[in-house]
């Protein structure tokens, strides 16, 4: 779920706009950030941490050039080490820089293939392997006379050998900016225009932050190339087989974004209405778990004719706990993430709406804090169905043992484990209704994957970053027993 951005502006250097556009995508990755520009050579700065932390002492004027890339890292493959922060660079067959959002499911096979051809990769990242494959096919052209047709031919051959999810933007030194998207369009990628400037980004919210007009999405299986004259070339290289990630709409994207023609806000409001139609618990008010669930909760409350209050507020200086790099970091983030309004919560029966309950870390800790703040009852409501299957396309849900609905299939048991009075999930059919008109990937909910996979691949993807899992202890409901005798005092 990384954030990526590519810019070309013939009139001004792009570094300042790259930084501002990347800030609008910070929610997509918190582990690392990087910018690269090109003017005669590449100017690169990367580091671990938030964008503002990486660039706090950097003079953006040192990043010269009219072409540039930005990347916000969210680790799903590799180790999360500093050498895996993008953009990745490659000097062969000429200068290349690449940013990638997604996850390649045949990463190991690609690495073996590249090693057999004497390629040396410096990291465990699938993105570096993707860059090497693309570079190899670009090198099979006359690089001195490289044209759009040659570039598109190299991308088409790359698509023949890489599998999984990939939305990519690449700088080709002395030639231009290239972007392409896998045939399923699993990860988003959108094109924007501002006078003679072009932008290609993970979300439309980044374009709007720079006063770019959203032109359209890069189509599944398509490549686009902006040459040095600012001309946009297009090529549909593979037949589109859309399977857009539904979790983008539920959690990952900003509510202001429009992805593949569908408003994220509209989807979330639809999810709220569907939840309200099945909610039968008596409560006093509705709260949301900030901030992805806000639109869901407000529409849920409206549809259910219940008051909506901000009983839980987000600490805006904390990171998103779901996308912390490991389980230990996630657990530590939860306590810093929220502030509770006791005057709103105390003595109330609460319906607490969250975007999803994936691992249960946030929900369990939050329920305990709500009870400590005086909540009379806590009823959890999830905008998403139970996440039972690993994601292999770029969301950090690749370890089945971390998924609470995989370990506890019964929602009633999940609710008890989380300490809630009840637990209601969205249904899969209602989720599909909320994205009506889109072909989506919902593999994490249904187990139906749009690309070729085997059990061995799923095991490897999970094992690469696995952590030990203790058995979940589910509290049993209290049972009133009628004794056949009177207890003896003392």
Domain boundary among the residues 436, 454, 470 is at 436
Percent of the chain with pLDDT over 70: 87
Q: Which residues of 312-321 are buried (b: 16+ CB within 10 A; e: fewer)?
A: bebeeeebbb
Which pLDDT tens digit goes with each residue over 42-59?
999 999 999 999 999 899
In the predicted structure, residue 490 carries a pLDDT above the cut 60? no
Range of the domain at 398: 265-436
Based on the domain organization, do 235 and 273 belong to the same domain? Answer: no
CATH code for the domain of 63: 3.60.20.10
| CA nearest to 138, candidates 191, 168, 178 | 178
Query: 295: part of which helix (H) or strand (E)?
Result: helix 294-304
Which segment of 110-114, 211-215, 321-325, 415-419 scores lowest on mean pLDDT?
321-325
With beta carbons less than 8 A apart as the criterion, state whether 294 and 288 touch: yes
**Whole-model pTM?**
0.90
Query: 296: part of which helix (H) or strand (E)?
Result: helix 294-304
| CA nearest to 228, candidates 158, 153, 148, 156 | 148
Which pLDDT tens digit goes with each residue over 355-401?
999 999 999 999 999 999 999 999 999 999 999 999 999 998 888 88
Based on the domain organization, do 8 and 40 belong to the same domain? Answer: yes
Based on the domain organization, do 18 and 153 belong to the same domain? Answer: yes
Based on the domain organization, do 320 and 276 belong to the same domain? Answer: yes
In the sheet that 32-38 helps form, which strands lie side by side, from edge to edge? 42-48, 32-38, 67-73, 3-8, 197-201, 190-194, 213-217
Residue 382 located in a structural domain = yes
Q: Per-residue pLDDT averaged across 432-437, rounded?
A: 97
Would you state the pLDDT for residue 452? 84
Helix (H, G, I), strand (E, B) or coil at 267: helix
Based on the domain organization, do 191 and 73 belong to the same domain? Answer: yes
Residue 207 located in a structural domain = yes
In the predicted structure, residue 131 carries a pLDDT above the cut 90? yes
Greatest mean pLDDT range, 75-79, 414-418, 477-481: 414-418
Q: Per-residue pLDDT averaged across 140-150, rounded?
A: 92
Tally of domains in the chain: 2
HSE-CB of 477 using CA atoms within 13 angstroms: 10
| CA nearest to 26, candidates 79, 77, 70, 87 | 70
Residue 449 located in a structural domain = no
Residue 485 located in a structural domain = no
Residue 480 located in a structural domain = no
Based on the domain organization, do 230 and 276 belong to the same domain? Answer: no
Percent of the chain with pLDDT over 90: 79
Would you state the pLDDT for residue 466? 47
Would you state the pLDDT for residue 484? 36
Residue 24 located in a structural domain = yes
Task: Give the whole-angstrom CA distance, residue 67 versus residue 173.
Answer: 9
Phi, psi angles (nearest 5°) of residue 260:
50, 45
Domain boundary among the residues 177, 207, 242 is at 242
Phi, psi angles (nearest 5°) of residue 333:
-75, -30
Domain boundary among the residues 417, 436, 455 is at 436
HSE-CB of 87 using CA atoms within 13 angstroms: 28
What residues form the annotated binding site? 245, 292, 354-355, 391, 441, 444
Would you state the pLDDT for residue 468? 43
Helix (H, G, I), strand (E, B) or coil at 71: strand
Task: Give the whole-angstrom CA distance, residue 353 versus residue 366.
Answer: 12
Q: Per-residue pLDDT averaged across 346-358, rounded?
A: 98
Assigned token pair, 120? 């040396």
- Residues that are catalytic: 2
Would you state the pLDDT for residue 479? 42
**Mean pLDDT score of the chain, rounded to an integer?**
91
Which pLDDT tens digit goes with each residue over 85-125?
999 999 999 999 999 999 999 999 999 989 888 788 888 89
User: How many C-beta atoms surround the C-beta of residue 167 within 10 A?
Assistant: 26
Would you state the pLDDT for residue 483? 34
Residue 136 located in a structural domain = yes
Query: 419: part of which helix (H) or strand (E)?
Result: none
Instruction: Between 345 and 469, name the one with better pLDDT.
Output: 345
Q: What is the largest CA-CA distance in the chain?
A: 97
What residues form the annotated binding site for [4Fe-4S] cluster? 245, 391, 441, 444
Q: Alpha helices of 73-220 — where are they, by DSSP H?
A: 107-116, 126-138, 148-161, 204-209
Task: Give the whole-angstrom CA distance, residue 263 versus residue 445.
Answer: 21
Based on the domain organization, do 272 and 233 belong to the same domain? Answer: no
Assigned token pair, 236? 């549909």
Would you state the pLDDT for residue 377? 98
Q: What is the DSSP letter of 308?
A: B
Residue 456 located in a structural domain = no
Report helix angle 126-138 to 107-116, nearest 10: 50
Which pLDDT tens digit goes with each residue over 223-259?
999 999 999 999 999 999 999 999 999 999 999 999 9
Would you state the pLDDT for residue 403? 95
CA 222 vs CA 122, 179, 237, 238, 420: distances in Å:
29, 8, 5, 7, 46
CATH code for the domain of 301: 3.40.50.2020
Would you state the pLDDT for residue 485? 33
Q: Per-residue pLDDT averaged across 452-473, rounded?
A: 60
Based on the domain organization, do 238 and 282 belong to the same domain? Answer: no
What is the end-to-end Cα distance of the chain in Å, rounded? 60
Sequence-distant (6+) residues with CB within 8 A of 221 are 159, 181, 182, 183, 185, 236, 237, 238, 239, 240, 241
Task: Give the whole-angstrom CA distance, residue 47 versus residue 55.
Answer: 8
Would you state the pLDDT for residue 481? 37
Based on the domain organization, do 169 and 94 belong to the same domain? Answer: yes
> Taking the alpha carbons of 317, 320, 321, 324 in that order, is the dihedral positive or negative?
negative
| CA nearest to 93, candidates 128, 127, 141, 125 | 141
Report helix angle 264-277 to 294-304, nearest 10: 40
Based on the domain organization, do 18 and 121 belong to the same domain? Answer: yes
Based on the domain organization, do 142 and 50 belong to the same domain? Answer: yes
What residues form the annotated binding site for Mg(2+)? 292, 354-355
Assigned token pair, 117? 């051809």
Based on the domain organization, do 298 and 409 belong to the same domain? Answer: yes
| CB burial of residue 196 (10 Å; 0-12, 13-18, 19+) | exposed
Would you state the pLDDT for residue 296? 99
């Amino acid at each position: 779920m990384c954030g990526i951005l590519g810019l070309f502006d013939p009139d001004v250097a792009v570094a300042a706009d790259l930084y501002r556009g990347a800030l609008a995508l910070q929610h997509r990755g918190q582990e690392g950030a990087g910018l690269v520009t090109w003017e005669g050579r590449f100017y690169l700065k990367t580091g671990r941490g938030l964008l503002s932390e990486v660039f706090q002492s950097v003079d953006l004027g040192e990043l010269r050039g009219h072409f540039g890339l930005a990347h916000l890292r969210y680790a799903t493959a590799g180790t999360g080490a500093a050498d895996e922060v993008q953009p990745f660079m490659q000097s062969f067959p000429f200068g290349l820089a690449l940013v990638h959002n997604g996850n390649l499911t045949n990463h190991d096979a690609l690495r073996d293939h590249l090693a057999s051809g004497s390629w040396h990769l410096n990291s465990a990242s699938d993105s570096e392997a993707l860059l090497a494959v693309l570079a190899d096919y670009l090198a099979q052209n006359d690089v001195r006379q490289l044209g759009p047709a040659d570039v598109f031919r190299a991308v088409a051959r790359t698509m023949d050998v890489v599998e999984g999810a990939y939305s990519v933007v690449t700088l080709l030194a002395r030639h231009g900016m290239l972007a392409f998207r896998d045939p399923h369009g699993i990860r988003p990628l959108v094109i924007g225009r501002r006078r003679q400037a072009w932008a290609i980004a993970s979300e439309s919210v980044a374009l709007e932050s720079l006063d770019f007009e959203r032109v359209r999405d890069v189509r599944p299986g398509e490549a686009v190339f902006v040459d040095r004259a600012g001309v946009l070339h297009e090529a549909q290289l593979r037949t589109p087989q859309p399977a857009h990630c539904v979790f983008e709409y539920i959690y990952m994207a900003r509510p202001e974004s429009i992805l593949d023609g569908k408003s994220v806000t509209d989807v979330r409001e639809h999810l709220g209405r569907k939840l309200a139609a099945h909610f039968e618990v008596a409560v006093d008010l509705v709260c949301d778990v900030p901030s992805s669930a806000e639109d869901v909760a407000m529409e849920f409350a409206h549809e259910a004719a219940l008051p909506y209050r901000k009983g839980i507020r987000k600490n805006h200086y904390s990171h998103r706990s779901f996308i912390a790099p490991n389980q230990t970091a996630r657990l530590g983030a939860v306590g810093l993430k929220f502030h509770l309004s006791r005057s709103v919560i105390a003595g109330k029966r609460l319906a607490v709406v969250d975007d999803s309950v994936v691992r249960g870390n946030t929900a369990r800790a939050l329920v305990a804090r709500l009870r400590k703040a005086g909540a009379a009852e806590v009823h959890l409501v999830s905008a998403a169905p139970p996440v039972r299957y690993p994601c292999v396309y770029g969301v950090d849900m690749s370890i089945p043992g971390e998924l609470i609905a995989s370990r506890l299939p019964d929602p009633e048991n999940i609710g008890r484990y989380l300490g809630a009075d009840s637990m209601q999930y969205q249904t899969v059919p209602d989720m599909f209704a909320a994205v009506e008109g889109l072909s989506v990937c919902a593999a994490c909910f249904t187990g139906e994957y749009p690309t070729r996979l085997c059990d061995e691949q799923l095991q490897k993807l999970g094992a690469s970053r696995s952590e030990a899992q203790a058995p979940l202890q589910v509290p049993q409901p209290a049972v009133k027993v009628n004794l056949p005798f009177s207890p003896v005092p003392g």
